[in-house]
Amino acid sequence: MAVIYVFVKSLIKRVVRKIGQEKRIALRRVQYVQFILTIFWTIITLAILGVITGFSYKDVGLIFTSIFAVLGVALFAQWSILSNVTASVIVFFFFPYHVGDHVKIIDGDDTIEGVILEITLFHVILKFEETHITYPNSLVFQKAVVITKDKGAKVL
């Protein structure tokens, strides 16, 4: 079981690194996604290991239900953290903009634009003129984003 765990963990890291290189994604962001997916894989492995070592499905289910109930209550108060982390992983794999792109995030009267300096686990950092704007990933995921200039655009 340990060999399979290490193999899949290594595979996750290689695949995420390869996607990151193909999409020209910053190493730090690649490491964020690797970390989140590795945690998910570890939880799955622990559940499987529990069943293999003699715990019944009911026992494993009870343990994980209890853990997720406590996490659910804790994260309910902090739902924005969970939604930003989830949005960050989705943005990593499926969104067409990258660090260095000049973008406009359309949000009615609150539309903002700037050059993407960094995409972190919780937010996107934009630079417009001499101002740094921090915008939550969950909102970037929900709003229309227009790429106005490709990577390599001059930072204002």
Using an 8 Å Cβ cutoff, are 37 and 85 in contact?
Answer: no
- pLDDT score of 78: 64
71, pLDDT greater than 60: yes
More confident residue, 86 or 20: 20
- pLDDT score of 75: 64
Average of per-residue pLDDT across 68-77: 70
Q: How far apart are CA 150 and CA 57, in angstroms?
A: 51
- Give the count of beta carbons closer than 10 Å to the beta carbon of residue 43: 13
Q: Which own/partner pairs from 94-98 qualify as long-range (CB within 8 Å, at least 24 positions apart)? A: 95/145, 96/147, 97/145, 97/147, 98/23, 98/24, 98/25, 98/151
Closest CA to 156 of 100, 109, 89: 100
- Give the count of beta carbons closer than 10 Å to the beta carbon of residue 48: 14
Q: How far apart are CA 73 and CA 65, in angstroms?
A: 12
- pLDDT score of 79: 66
How far does the chain reach from its first CA to its final CA, in angstroms?
53
pTM here is 0.57
Q: How far is CA 29 from CA 34, 57, 58, 67, in A?
A: 9, 36, 37, 28
Is the sign of the CA dihedral 70, 73, 74, 79 positive or negative? Answer: positive
Average of per-residue pLDDT across 46-67: 77
145, pLDDT greater than 60: yes
Residue 111 DSSP code = -
In sequence order, which residues have a C-beta less than 8 Å from that of residue 40 and are 6 or more positions away?
none
82-106 pLDDT per residue, tens: 777 778 778 777 777 888 889 999 9
Identify the three-state secondary structure at position 135. strand
